[in-house]
Amino acid sequence: MAQIIGAVATSHVPSIGNAMEKGLQKDPYWKPFFDAFDPVHEWLEKKKPDAAVVIYNDHGLNFFLDKMPTFAIGAAEQYENADEGWGLKVAPPYKGDSKLSWHLIDEVIGADFDLVTCQEMLVDHAFVVPMKLMWPEGGPAAIPAVPVTINSIQHPLPSGRRCHALGKAIGDAIESYPEDMRIVVIATGGLSHQLDGQRAGFINKEFDVFCMDKIVNDVDAITALSNHDIIEKAGSQGVELMCWLAMRGAMNGRVSAAHSNYHIPVSNTGGAVMVFDHEPKPVLKAA
């Protein structure tokens, strides 16, 4: 059976991609951010996942305001990137795993989450930048991935509680996959940031630190917040936190934080990365 070996959650700012292209990882501005990925690489090297389920939010590359699924999942054998502005080079395609995708689709729709299924799906910086942070050689060098998107740009948005429950359904689906595979769950987005309007540039370190603490052992303290609360505390794009909540749901039982780093600013955001070890659910034996 497949097992979830843990999770990584990270911010996904386009300028991180530009910094990697220009080799600025040791630049004083970027060093505190990129150095925090050394332990992530060590962890991935040790855990050796075979595939990733990547939970993120599209910013208008694959879905636009005319058609905006609340939740969508890729079912392709590969995922292309495309020019979305930001001056980012178009990344080579990432490998998919359509068999794993269709298993997740069957199980998660079976659990009453009406996903949009995408046999073609362009992946934007929210997928490509984190994948490159984890597998710096790029597209073909990364493990196969199943992309899952959560709408965080077109209101009304799903609640944190709903995203956490979606994640739980994804976690159950992964653990019922009959192949012996080691799966890592990756969440991208956040933390606090607002890119537009009067509060453009808004970052709330106190709230980010609160979320990084509570996501480990008291996620209910975050899912109790309304989207209005989250936008007030984390900025209008801080709702990308939803992807972290879905990741935490997928972890189901207990987790521990194996690594954690927070650095401000990274472009306009609180740059965060966390790695989670997963203690699988105990196997219940018949009495």
- Using alpha carbons, select from 78, 57, 27, 80 the residue that is nearest to residue 236: 57
Residue 79: strand pairing partners: 94
Amino acid at 28: P
Query: In this structure, which amino acid lies at residue 207?
Result: F
Nearer to ligand DHB, 171 or 238 (CB): 238
Question: In 3-state terms, the chain is what percent helix, strand and coil (to 5)?
Answer: 35, 20, 40
193 part of the interface to ligand DHB, by CB under 6 A: yes
Residue from 12, 103, 164, 193 carrying the catalytic annotation: 193
Shortest Cβ 196–ligand DHB spacing (Å):
11
Is residue 58 a contact point for ligand DHB (CB under 6 A)? no
Q: Record the tokens describing residue 196, joined without a space.
A: 């537009």
Catalytic, 125? Answer yes
User: Is 132 a binder of ligand DHB (CB under 6 A)?
Assistant: no
Instruction: Choose one: 154-162, 168-176, 189-197, 251-259; the region binding ligand DHB (CB under 6 A).
Output: 189-197
- By CB under 6 A, residue 240 contacts ligand DHB: yes
For CA atoms 161, 167, 171, 172, give the dihedral sign. positive
For residues 48 and 182, is the Cβ–Cβ distance under 8 A?
yes
For residue 62, state whether it binds ligand DHB (rule: CB under 6 A): no
Total residues at interface with ligand DHB (CB under 6 A): 12
Contact 129, 16 (CB under 8 A): yes
Task: Find the part of the chain contacting ligand DHB (CB under 6 A) among 12-20, 34-42, 206-214, 226-234.
Answer: 12-20
Stretches 102-110, 201-209, 213-221, 266-274: which one binds ligand DHB (CB under 6 A)? 266-274
The mark string for 198-237 relative to ligand DHB (x by CB under 6 A, - otherwise) is ---------------------------------------x
Q: Quick check: 269 binds ligand DHB (CB under 6 A)?
A: yes
Tokens 């606090």 identify what position? 192
CB 167 within 8 A of CB 220: no
The distance of closest approach from Cβ of residue 202 to ligand DHB in the complex, given in angstroms and rounded to an integer, is 12
- List the one residue out of 185, 53, 188 whose CA is nearest residue 115: 53
- Taking residue 78's Cβ as centre, other Cβ atoms within 10 Å add up to 18
155 part of the active site: no
